[in-house]
């Protein structure tokens, strides 16, 4: 369903969920992926901080980002 030039931005504070998701993306072999860990939305213009990101970061929890770009066929 993702367009050929589509990109998925997935961020999570849950390490197990994040690592499982990274493996799913890798195993699918459909995406080129980039991982930014820890991720700070304040340092980029393309992903503003969410309410949850701010809440968990204030508690000292890292946020992880996976960027998955659909491979060209």
pLDDT in tens, 4-55: 889 999 999 999 999 999 999 999 999 999 999 999 888 888 899 889 898 9
Q: Which among 3, 70, 72 is positioned nearest to 33, based on CA atoms?
A: 70
Mean pLDDT of 54-73: 91
pLDDT over 80 (residue 73): no
- Residue 67 CA to residue 69 CA, distance in Å, equals 7
**Contact residues for 57 (Cβ-Cβ < 8 A; gap 6+):** 49, 63
The model carries a pTM of: 0.86
- Residue 73 CA to residue 55 CA, distance in Å, equals 40
DSSP-derived 3-state class of residue 6: coil
């Amino acid at each position: 369903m993702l367009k050929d030039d589509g990109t998925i931005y997935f961020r999570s504070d849950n390490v197990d969920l994040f690592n499982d998701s990274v493996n799913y993306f890798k195993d699918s072999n459909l995406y080129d992926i980039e991982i930014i860990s820890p991720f700070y939305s304040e340092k980029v213009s393309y992903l503003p901080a969410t309410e949850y990101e701010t809440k968990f970061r204030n508690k000292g929890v890292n946020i992880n980002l996976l960027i998955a770009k659909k491979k060209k066929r």
